Amino acid sequence: MKSDITIIILLYKTPFKLIENLKNLKRFNIIILDQSNDYNFKRRLSKVLPNIKNYTLSKQNKGFAKGVNYLVKKVKSKYFFCTQPDVIIDEKSILQLKKTILRNKKNAIIAIPLINKKKINKSLKEIEVQNMTGASFLCDKKKFFEIGRFDEDFFFYWEDVELSKRIKKYKYKIFESQNSRAIHNNSKSSGRGFKIEFIRNENFIFGELLYDYKINKLRYIKIIRKLFQNLLFFNLNIIFFKFKKVNINLSRLFGILKFLIYRIKN
């Protein structure tokens, strides 16, 4: 059951304390990309996970979509399980995800665990859902390549929503296993700080606008509204010395600018 599943993990400035969350994965083959080039984290994690088949260090943070696509290229097994250090999931739950795909072999491409949910439908083994989450999912590698993998125009945020739309176009389905559970401590996989929060907020709004542009009908009045809102609150927060909120407003302005640059180039 475990031999045809490879665990892929993308790291970026990951706190050492989260290594504990990954111990349940030690019996799987594992491929890792650390985009913060952290040799100390590699040394510590390698002691916990004996089956790491490839551990790449990179000085450049290329984001979630490119990072996952890079890792999947190195996968040799039929399935891969993508997870993050701030996700707690056990071996049994991962194997249940595989059973979910096998029960729906013709049309299943992705199986996801119940994340942070207490209520389940005990009468069903799995339910079809409209969207997957990039935080934790098992995927058929061949079908993943068939639909074109993650769209690398996204940095992180919204790439999983866009992929979910594409999955439907290819007539595949996403299933949530009722027998698989995970705990996700959102946004804990990377450390805290003004720079990291800036990157997160910048790319969330960039991803939102990019998704609207590619999937929905983007209304440019939305861009103008968000632009003026964040300019207004940026100045107000400076006046009242609310520097955390200043960082949020500034990062959102950069995210809007990033999208406008992308739109001009494309």
CATH number reported for the structural domain that contains residue 94 in this entry: 3.90.550.10
Q: What is the pLDDT of residue 189?
A: 60
The angle subtended at Cα 221 by Cα 218 and Cα 224, nearest 5°, is 115
| Average pLDDT along the chain | 94
Together in a domain, 146 and 19: yes
Together in a domain, 46 and 167: yes
How many domains in the chain?
2
Share of residues in the chain with pLDDT > 70 (%): 97
**106 half-sphere exposure, CB direction, 13 A CA radius:** 0
Domain edge (last residue) among 123, 158, 184: 184
Which backbone phi and psi does 129 adopt, to 5 degrees? -125, 160
Q: What is the pLDDT of residue 47?
A: 94
Together in a domain, 111 and 142: yes
Q: What is the pLDDT of residue 1?
A: 53
The label of the residue with tokens 């249940």 reads 96
Domain edge (last residue) among 184, 209, 236: 184
Residue 148 in domain: yes
Q: What is the pLDDT of residue 193?
A: 78
Together in a domain, 53 and 107: yes
Q: Is pLDDT above 90 for 100?
A: yes
How far apart, in whole angstroms, are the C-alpha atoms of residue 217 and residue 177? 33
Q: Is pLDDT above 70 for 77?
A: yes
Together in a domain, 166 and 213: no
Q: Any idea how long the chain is?
A: 266
**16 half-sphere exposure, CB direction, 13 A CA radius:** 8
**Strand bridging mode 108-115 / 79-83:** unpaired
Domain edge (last residue) among 184, 216, 239: 184
Q: Is pLDDT above 90 for 216?
A: no
DSSP annotation of 49 reads -
Q: What is the pLDDT of residue 55?
A: 98
This prediction has a pTM of: 0.92
Q: What is the pLDDT of residue 188?
A: 62
Give residue-wise pLDDT tens across range 83-92.
999 999 999 9
Give residue-wise pLDDT tens across range 14-49.
999 999 999 999 999 999 999 999 999 999 999 999
* Domain containing residue 261: 194-265
